[in-house]
Structure 1
Amino acid sequence: MANWSDPRPRAAPFGATATTTGSAAYDAGLRSYMLSVYNYMGSGVLLTGIVALLFAWGGASSPAAQVFMGGGPLKYVIMFAPLAIVFGMSFGQNRMSTATLQMLFWGFAILMGLSLSTIFLVYSGTSIASAFFATAAGFAGLSLYGYTTKRDLSAFGTFLIIGVVGLLVASIINIFLQSGVMQLVISGVGVLLFAGLTAYDTQRTKSLYMQVAGTDMVGKVVIMSALSLYLDFINMFMFVLRLFGSSRN
């Protein structure tokens, strides 16, 4: 049977030379795998941004304003469809083909763009750009840390996920309370939680390669890992924007 715990090639009789060659091949495969993850993730963020900008083009007369301020069922379809896709991908990934997951990922990125288009109606362009580049810089540093650190971050995973659930509950409660102070606290905690998740998910993504290298599961893992990092980036960006963004005049 295959050894799923360590898919790297076994050492050949030639000893150190063969081991070094196998290690180099493994490292090259890991770099290619991580590059694919970041390419998917970055392309998804770019697609979301373009769709959001185009949907909100025209301000008060834009399609985004008509949908989200005019009411109607389409507003709720756009808001909740991305969540449905995430659950569908998460629970159905083993039954779905790589091509299906790819299609769902791009569809998710487009729907997220439609959903996030309202930020162009609420916040100034300078605020959005500043929040985006600050998030990008923070994400890059945190992801690099998660990739290079020798510290096992898996112990933080449960804590971070519980924190996200608590954050969601607090956000729902604040819908009714409409507390500005509570919103600031939620945003601050949200930035910290998704910063931690960025490092954690990066390390987890790297670790998964050891389990799937050389199998037909690599493509699926690339897409699902890109989805996790995409969600970390977008959520961190939104919380940064809510903390420091200024409204349109």
Structure 2
Amino acid sequence: MANWNDPQPRQTGFGASPSLNGEAVTRSTYDMGLRRHMLSIYNYMASGVLLSGIVALLFAQSGFAAQIMTGGGALAWLIILSPLAFVFAMSFGANRFSTGALRAMFWGFATVMGLSLSTIFLVYTQASIALTFFATAAAFAGLSLVGYTTKKDLSGMGTFLIMGVIGLLVAMVINMFVGSTVMQLAISAIGVLIFAGLTAYDTQRLKLMYHQVAGTEFAGKAVVLGALSLYLDFINMFQFLLAFLGQRD
């Protein structure tokens, strides 16, 4: 298995070509492979977001979302918690699952995430949802470009941002009982900033990991897992931003 804790391309000597799994490659070949790898990640991520959006819209328009999700029953909780189960299974079971199985799980995750997201169509106007989506897409593209092109090492942000996510989850649970509007706005603002940072950080992390997985059987899995990471960054940033830009029905 690739050493995921050492995301720096191997080079020896002045002007040496990067090496993938001990084999020297030309810089142009490396760059071409890297572009294909990242493009595959973005394609999977964008397709997953599109699938979730379609499922969310259809589920909301069918009337089932209003019946199931607003009732707070066992089925509603199953839909809400299913995406989290997929994330844990894919993240911690990547070495046990085949590439095909991970792909199927990614599409399953995007589908149940769409069911869970259907509630936004019950709360906000479709116009404000569309506006927020395009604003998120523009911000995501810019932040991901920064993460891909910057020469600054963003690895130091990782621990800080993950701790921020944990703190955010704790604050959200507390606010479920407190019900403070001010606290909810603060959570949304911090959430946008945290996942904006994670977008740049994850993009750089996935770019630097390429040399470890290129040419290995884990390459296909890395694409799916990378798409999952960026999908989560996008969707979370979208949901937190919707709290500011969304207009309620």
Is 2:19 the counterpart of 1:34?
no
TM-score normalised by L of structure 1: 0.90
Counterpart selection for 1:48 from 44, 48, 52: 52
What is the rounded CA distance, in whole Å, between the counterparts of 2:53 and 2:184 in structure 1? 24
8 Å Cα contact 2:9-2:208 kept in structure 1: no
**In the alignment, residue 202 of structure 2 is paired with which amino acid?**
D
- Deviation of 1:218 (Å): 0.6
**In the alignment, residue 46 of structure 1 is paired with which amino acid?**
L
8 Å Cα contact 1:7-1:214 kept in structure 2: no
Where do 1:12-161 residues align within 5 Å?
22-58=26-62, 62-161=63-162
Where is the helix percentage greater, Structure 1 or Structure 2?
A: 1
What is the rounded CA distance, in whole Å, between the counterparts of 2:72 and 2:217 in structure 1? 45
8 Å Cα contact 2:168-2:191 kept in structure 1: yes
- Deviation of 1:21 (Å): 7.3
- The verdict on how the C-alpha distance between 1:21 and 1:76 changes in structure 2, with shifts beyond 3 A counting, is closer
What is the rounded CA distance, in whole Å, between the counterparts of 1:71 and 1:158 in structure 2? 35
- Deviation of 1:70 (Å): 3.0
What is the rounded CA distance, in whole Å, between the counterparts of 2:208 and 2:25 in structure 1? 21
Unpaired runs of 5+ in structure 2?
Answer: 14-23
Query: Cα deviations across residues 154-196 of structure 1 (Å, max 9, x unaligned)?
Result: 0000000000000000000000000000000000000000000
- Deviation of 1:244 (Å): 1.9
Query: Cα deviations across residues 40-85 of structure 1 (Å, max 9, x unaligned)?
Result: 0000000000000000005xxx010010123421101000011011
Where do 1:170-189 residues align within 5 Å?
170-189=171-190
DSSP 3-state at the match of 1:94:
coil
Where do 1:213-232 residues align within 5 Å?
213-232=214-233
The residue that corresponds to 1:16 in the other structure is: none
**Cα RMSD after superposing both structures:** 2.1
8 Å Cα contact 2:79-2:115 kept in structure 1: yes
TM-score normalised by L of structure 2: 0.90
Is 2:188 the counterpart of 1:210?
no
What is the rounded CA distance, in whole Å, between the counterparts of 2:25 and 2:78 in structure 1? 52
Larger-Rg structure: 1
- Deviation of 1:149 (Å): 0.1
The residue that corresponds to 2:19 in the other structure is: none
8 Å Cα contact 1:135-1:240 kept in structure 2: yes
What is the rounded CA distance, in whole Å, between the counterparts of 1:6 and 1:214 in structure 2? 14
DSSP 3-state at the match of 1:53:
helix
What is the rounded CA distance, in whole Å, between the counterparts of 1:182 and 1:6 in structure 2? 44
8 Å Cα contact 1:7-1:211 kept in structure 2: no
- Deviation of 1:22 (Å): 1.3
Query: Cα deviations across residues 18-47 of structure 1 (Å, max 9, x unaligned)?
Result: xx9711111110000000000000000000
The residue that corresponds to 2:16 in the other structure is: none
The residue that corresponds to 1:14 in the other structure is: none
Unpaired runs of 5+ in structure 1?
Answer: 11-19
